[in-house]
Amino acid sequence: MSVIRPNLRVAVFVERFAESDIPAQLYILKFHRMRLSNRHLEQKAVDLCDIQPDHDVLEVGFGGGEGLKYAAKQVRGGSGKIFGIDISNVCVQHASSKFKRLIRKDKIDVSLGTVGNLPYEPNTFHSAFHVNTFFFWSNMSLACSELYRVLRPGSKLVSVVDLKHYSVLKKKNLLPMMSVDPINYMFSLEAAGFTDVRVEYFEERGVEYPAFLASVEPDLKVELE
């Protein structure tokens, strides 16, 4: 089942890759063949965050909003709030409409922006997650440093990816601007200050996926600040 309506998919795809040297028509054709149903991956990422009702949580690259929707259920009845940021104005507009009731209730907040310049105060979030996004970060070190900055001491970062699928896309040169390098991602997390950086594997629908996990050590972050 698709997470984003077909017309929204195309709009997002053209918007994000409009500056590529490959014709947009070709990208659209390839885009329709991509597996974009990330619902099970989004839910797994949220589960790994162990969100409590009073937690403030960030999703980077929320796309069609499935992760925001599932995360918002975890803070229902508490003071927690789910924040989302995406580089796509189409996605932000879509989420603003889709979650207008929860936005009015101050349970969801969506912003247009990049992971390299997060519009949040230091030590804001109890956890953060992203699904199939770090492949596209142009400055991995800056992105990881920004995530570390906005996470609270004692918090966690979760990244779930369809590594095999995106590796195939990269090998076939369908997404030439993408960098499928999980080792660099993990090294960048450690360099930014994260601890206990590791990868765990889980099976969903007969397919094995990696989940990258990292922690913000309470005492260490206090000392650095």
Q: Could you report the per-residue pLDDT of 159-205, keeping only the tens digit for each?
A: 999 866 555 555 555 555 556 678 999 999 999 999 999 999 998 88
Q: Which residues pair with 128 in a beta bridge?
A: 58, 157
Q: Is residue 9 part of a domain?
A: no
C-alpha distances (whole Å) from 145 to each of 48, 122, 142, 159, 196 are: 21, 11, 5, 15, 16
- Determine the pLDDT at residue 21: 43
- Return the closest-CA partner of residue 224 out of 121, 141, 153, 126: 153
Q: Which residue has the tokens 């991509």?
A: 34
Q: Cα(90)–Cα(4) distance, rounded to whole angstroms?
A: 11
* Residue 2 placed within a domain: no
Q: Which domain, by its residues, includes 101?
A: 38-224
Q: Is 215 within the bounds of a domain?
A: yes
Nearest alpha carbon to residue 123 among 196, 190, 56: 56
Structural domain includes residue 21? no
Name beta bridge partners: 212: 159, 199
In a domain, 22, yes or no: no
pLDDT of the residue at 25: 42
**For 79-88, what is each residue's pLDDT tens digit?**
999 999 998 8
What distance lies between CA 134 and its chain's CA centroid? 8
pLDDT of residue 174: 52
- Rounded to the nearest 10 degrees, the angle between the axes of helix 6-16 and helix 89-98 is 150
**Is-contact 99 69, C-beta < 8 A?**
yes
Domains in the chain, number: 1
Q: Using one digit for the tens of pLDDT, what is the confidence trace for 19-28? A: 444 444 444 4
Predicted confidence at residue 181, as pLDDT, reads 78
The pTM is what? 0.82
Each residue's pLDDT, cut to its tens digit, for the chain (225 residues) gives 334 444 555 455 555 554 444 444 444 433 433 334 578 899 999 999 999 999 999 999 998 899 999 999 999 999 999 999 998 888 899 899 999 999 999 999 999 999 999 999 999 999 999 998 888 888 999 999 999 999 999 999 999 998 665 555 555 555 555 566 789 999 999 999 999 999 999 988 888 899 999 999 987 665 445
CATH of the domain at 80: 3.40.50.150
The amino acid occupying position 41 is L
The answer to the question of residue 32 being in a domain is no
* Total residue length of the chain: 225
Phi-psi region of 127 (alpha: psi -120 to 50; beta: other; left: phi over 0): beta
Kindly state whether residue 3 falls inside one of the protein's structural domains: no
What's the pLDDT score for residue 4? 45
pLDDT of residue 201: 94
